[in-house]
């Protein structure tokens, strides 16, 4: 699912973009083409792999509580170069296909619904889950990834749950800083993020200097709208979006999947996810990226550049 409702505060008044602070030129459009929900199902894994191997996707994030994580784990051991983060998962939204917390019900009872699974929506989590339980589950998902030997190039949030409450977000930031793992944080012009939820940006924006000055990178913008595009229009919509991006570093989210026969039973978004895969593997998209000299990047590169960049106060002078 997208993070359509909760993001962070934009920079104001002529300050350099975070792409500039990370060493790119002021006029460069820098993009992470990101695939969510990896490990959720076999079709999700197939779509993510194809998006990276045959398309223009540069990054993905894995849902550690889900059944198909070992499958993508085996792939990653053979392909350690992949930019693979964790899609920290605190909900289990599908009707017939569900999962529970990695930490176990006894440790995080407030995160578990009457079926013994994670809550189906963010509202359920917010009503019952404490910040302490959120942190326990985040740490459990990181621990499982580390135990499996999976790379963790960044952390983001399935369905935006970690952006839904300030105390949840505080724990998200705390863990990212402690482990020195980049977290999804929007602090630049936020052109698309402001359209989706400007209030969320304002509420969490005070965290941006702390995140940056703790040695973690920050994005200029985040686009999550592809989830709502019509499946057969997705290649054209992506082409139009890439032509319209402002300078800075922007992440664009997709849920690319290669549907198998049973995938529509899991989710009604099967064709939407197939459309994401078509967009990311469309040769016209690759040609446009080259034509417009769009810079494709990864979270791994952002972190490497952040380690060479100045603190916020110095960079803003």
pLDDT band (50, 70, 90) for residue 204: confident
- Sign, CA torsion 60/62/66/68: positive
Mean pLDDT of 192-205: 83
pLDDT digits (tens, 9 = 90+) for 120-135: 999 999 999 999 999 9
pLDDT of residue 11: 42
Distances (CA, A) of 249 to 115, 136, 238: 41, 31, 16
Contact assessment for residue 62 and residue 145, using Cβ atoms and an 8 Å cutoff: yes
pLDDT of residue 13: 52
- Using only C-alpha atoms, the chain has a radius of gyration, in whole angstroms, of 18
**The residue to which tokens 């977000």 are assigned:** 169
Of residues 259 and 201, the one with the higher pLDDT is 259
Mean pLDDT of 109-121: 98
Mean pLDDT of 249-274: 96
pLDDT of residue 272: 97
DSSP symbols for 258-304: ---TTHHHH-TTHHHHHHHHHHHT-HHHHHHHHHTTPEE--HHHHHH
- Give the least confident one: 35-44, 49-58, 284-293, 305-314: 305-314
Domain range annotation of the chain: 18-315
Mean pLDDT of 30-57: 98
pLDDT band (50, 70, 90) for residue 315: very low
Q: Is 288 exposed, middle or buried (0-12, 13-18, 19+ CB in 10 A)?
A: middle
Mean pLDDT of 189-195: 93
Q: Give the whole-angstrom CA distance, residue 219 versus residue 113.
A: 34
- Does the pLDDT value for residue 195 go beyond 90? no
For the chain, what percent of residues have pLDDT higher than 90?
89
**Residues with Cβ within 8 Å of residue 25, at least 6 apart in sequence:** none
Q: What superfamily does domain 18-315 belong to in CATH?
A: Glycoside hydrolase/deacetylase (3.20.20.370)
pLDDT of residue 202: 81
Of residues 6 and 192, the one with the higher pLDDT is 192
Mean pLDDT of 98-125: 98
Enter the pTM of the model: 0.93
- Does the pLDDT value for residue 4 go beyond 90? no
Mean pLDDT of 220-234: 96
Mean pLDDT of 98-124: 98
pLDDT band (50, 70, 90) for residue 3: very low
**The residue to which tokens 């040609």 are assigned:** 287
On average, the pLDDT of the chain sits at 93
pLDDT band (50, 70, 90) for residue 313: low
- Does the pLDDT value for residue 235 go beyond 50? yes
Mean pLDDT of 165-180: 97
């Amino acid at each position: 699912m997208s993070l359509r409702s909760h993001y962070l505060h934009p920079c104001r008044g002529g300050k350099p973009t975070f792409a500039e602070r990370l060493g790119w030129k002021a006029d460069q459009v820098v993009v992470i083409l990101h695939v969510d929900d990896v490990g959720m199902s076999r079709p999700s894994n197939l779509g993510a792999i194809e998006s990276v191997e045959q398309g223009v996707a540069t990054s993905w994030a894995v849902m550690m509580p889900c059944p198909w994580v070992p499958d993508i784990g085996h792939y990653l051991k053979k392909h350690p170069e992949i930019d693979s983060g964790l899609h920290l998962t605190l909900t289990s939204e599908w009707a017939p296909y569900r999962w529970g917390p990695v930490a176990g019900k006894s440790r995080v009872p407030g995160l578990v619904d009457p079926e013994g699974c994670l809550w189906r929506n963010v509202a359920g989590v917010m009503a019952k889950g404490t910040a302490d339980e959120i942190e326990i589950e985040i740490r459990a998902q990181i621990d499982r990834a580390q135990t499996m030997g999976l790379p963790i190039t960044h952390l983001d949030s399935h369905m935006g749950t970690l952006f839904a409450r300030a105390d949840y977000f505080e724990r998200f930031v705390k863990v990212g800083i402690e482990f020195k793992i980049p977290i999804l944080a929007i602090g630049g012009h936020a052109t698309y993020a402001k359209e989706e939820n400007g209030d969320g940006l304002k509420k969490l924006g005070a965290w941006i200097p702390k995140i940056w000055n703790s040695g973690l990178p920050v994005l200029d913008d985040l686009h999550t709208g592809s989830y709502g595009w019509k499946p057969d229009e997705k290649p054209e919509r992506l082409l139009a979006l890439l032509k319209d991006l402002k300078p800075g570093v922007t992440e664009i989210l997709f849920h690319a999947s290669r549907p198998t026969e049973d995938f529509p039973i899991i989710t009604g978004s099967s064709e939407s996810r197939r459309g994401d895969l078509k967009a990311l593997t469309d040769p016209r998209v690759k040609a446009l990226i080259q034509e417009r000299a769009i810079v494709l990047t990864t979270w791994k590169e952002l972190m490497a550049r952040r380690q060479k960049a100045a603190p916020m106060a110095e960079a803003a002078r």
